[in-house]
Chains A and B, each alone.
Chain A
Amino acid sequence: MAKTQDAEEAVSSNEFEREPVPENARKGPLAFWGMYAGEHAAGTEFTIGPLFLAAGASLKDLMFGLFLGNVLAVLTWRYLVLPIAMKRRLTLYYQLEKVAGSSTVKIYNVVNGVLFCFLAGAMITVSASAVGVPFNVRFQVPAELFGLGGVSFTVIVAVIGLVIAAVAAAGYDAVSRFANIAAPWMILVFAACGLVSLGQMDAHSVDRLHAIWNEGVAFVQSNNGQQEFGFWKIVIFSWLCNAAMHLGMADLSIFRFANSKSSGWAPSVGMFLGHYMAWICAALMLAALISTNPAATLNDLGKVQVDPGFLAWNALGWTGIICVVIAGWTTANPTIYRAGLAFQSLLPKHSSRMAGVLIAGLVATIAGAFPQLSARLLDFVGTYGMILGPVGAILFVNHYLAKKAGFLEDGAAVTGSTFNFAVLIAWLLPAFSGLYLIFFKGVFASYLVIPAWLASGLLYLILARFMFPKSSR
């Protein structure tokens, strides 16, 4: 997954936040290729990869499903996000403000901020799982959704979370530079995880690898119960795990600097290094542990669980531990920082950025203390995309259909409104409906991203015609 809007700073500075990017500030394709290369080998990959095996995915489905899903993701960036970004040259936030009004954008920021906190919390858990290994403190996922992971582990989470929050509050530039330094090394370590895991399993042929993988799936099913994660589920998940960035148009903020359409292909390097290679290599680590020491994969409840730190330690020793810690930290840090900026908009005007970031850090640390968040990362990622994705549909409809459908383009800016109820209804109605289906009907969250996006776009198309007809100009 992407390390949030930290990527924007990698491409350019925070200039032109409320104006189109001028021609002399635009960047060639290489800037975007370099940025996306380092962005998707993150802490989340250490958790998501093994979760596929734990969920019952076959190796063949995983390899082909991830391929197709990542192709679809890249096409979405290229053909949905890039054209609007290159036409308007605005950040997502400013574009949204023009359509929805500044007060509506505050709501979006807070929702985004809360989701960022949960994502950062999961990454704090990932780092804690690695820190705990040398102290013989294993990551334990309790049965209850709001159960803690044991006193020692919770203490580790608290310490790591507070350190990350303090560093983020002090300004995350140093961590950002460190993340750039770590990126090439981290990508190679991910690859090494996969190769070493193959060696541990003595998997020197494709048939043997398939056999070991299937034994691993059978082991998980026998301990955790029957589950399925078929080909199309993998495709949908891998396509839409970054829905907030592409369908949700968050990467307008990145691609507004593009001077060439070929820049739109840049996410492919991130997708295939991170969401293909890194995920499969991380999954192979779990397969190897099940194959060589199955008892070590079981928690106190006798269930197979994904312990990223222990998996990395089992594969690469101290290098693996360091990689998991760095991957979790460099994902959590900018995420907490951005969540803090979002919360700052709610605080009194004289409140400092530090206050917002510390609040975000506290929320993330508390979230990280609940291991179920990390264990359910596949569901969380889909929920994240389902909630934020629809905003992109509204921007899409505003950009392409406003004139044809007879309502004001950038309605809030034209009418001077700070609230656009058409946007609120079009966004929140599908989002809340999706949340109901996820939490009360057990629908896999990623399945709801596209329907929510389409529903949101259609609702906005209808509502905007009544609330912002062209005649109201």
Chain B
Amino acid sequence: MKTLKTFAKPVSWSSLSLIVIPPILFYSGGISQAVMCQLMILGTIIWFISAPLWMRSE
């Protein structure tokens, strides 16, 4: 469980990059809106699975 929590924190903070970077890429014309939405929902799912594992204990 402790190992899980150790990994959960960096994983969840990293998942927020999928909330930040895809919109930047979309704005700059690097990816389509459809791809952006898919990446963001992936980041959202990872965040809500991983964040409760360590945020509850802090």
Contacts and interface: CB of A to CB of B under 8 A. Distances in A.
Interface in B6-58: 16, 19-20, 22-24, 26-27, 29, 33, 36-38, 40-41, 43-44, 47-48, 51-52, 55-56
B36 A196 contact: yes
Given A188-B20, A192-B19, A319 B41 contact: yes
Nearest to B27: A199
Given A196-B33, A319-B44, A188 B19 contact: yes
Contacts of A182: 48
Given A185-B44, A199-B27, A192 B20 contact: yes
Contact of B19 (A185, A317, A318): A185
Contacts of A184: 16
Contacts of B16: 184-185, 188
A381 interface: no
B21 to A, nearest CB: 10
Given A200-B33, A319-B37, A319-B44, A181 B52 contact: yes
A316 B20 contact: no
Interface in A148-184: 177, 180-182, 184
Contact of A317 (B40, B47, B48, B55): B40
Nearest to B37: A317
A296 to B, nearest CB: 15
Nearest to A314: B33
Contacts of B41: 317-319, 322
Contacts of B44: 185, 318-319, 322
A199 B55 CA distance: 33
Given A185-B44, A319-B37, A319-B41, A196 B51 contact: no
How many chain A residues sit at the interface, stated as a range, is: 20 to 34
A46 to B, nearest CB: 16
A316 to B, nearest CB: 6
Interface in A67-126: none
Contacts of A429: none
B45 to A, nearest CB: 9
A317 B32 CA distance: 13
A195 interface: yes
Interface in A322-339: 322
A198 interface: yes
- Please indicate which of the listed interface residues A182, A184, A200, A319 has the most CB atoms of chain B within 10 Å of its own CB: A319
Given A191-B23, A196-B26, 17 more contacts: A181-B48, A181-B51, A181-B55, A185-B19, A185-B47, A188-B16, A192-B20, A195-B27, A196-B36, A198-B27, A316-B36, A316-B37, A316-B40, A317-B40, A319-B37, A319-B41, A319-B43
27 contacts: A180-B55, A181-B51, A181-B55, A182-B48, A185-B16, A185-B19, A185-B51, A189-B19, A191-B23, A192-B22, A192-B23, A195-B23, A195-B27, A196-B26, A196-B27, A198-B27, A199-B23, A199-B27, A199-B29, A199-B33, A317-B33, A317-B37, A318-B37, A318-B41, A319-B37, A319-B40, A319-B44
Interface of A: 177, 180-182, 184-185, 188-189, 191-192, 195-196, 198-200, 316-319, 322
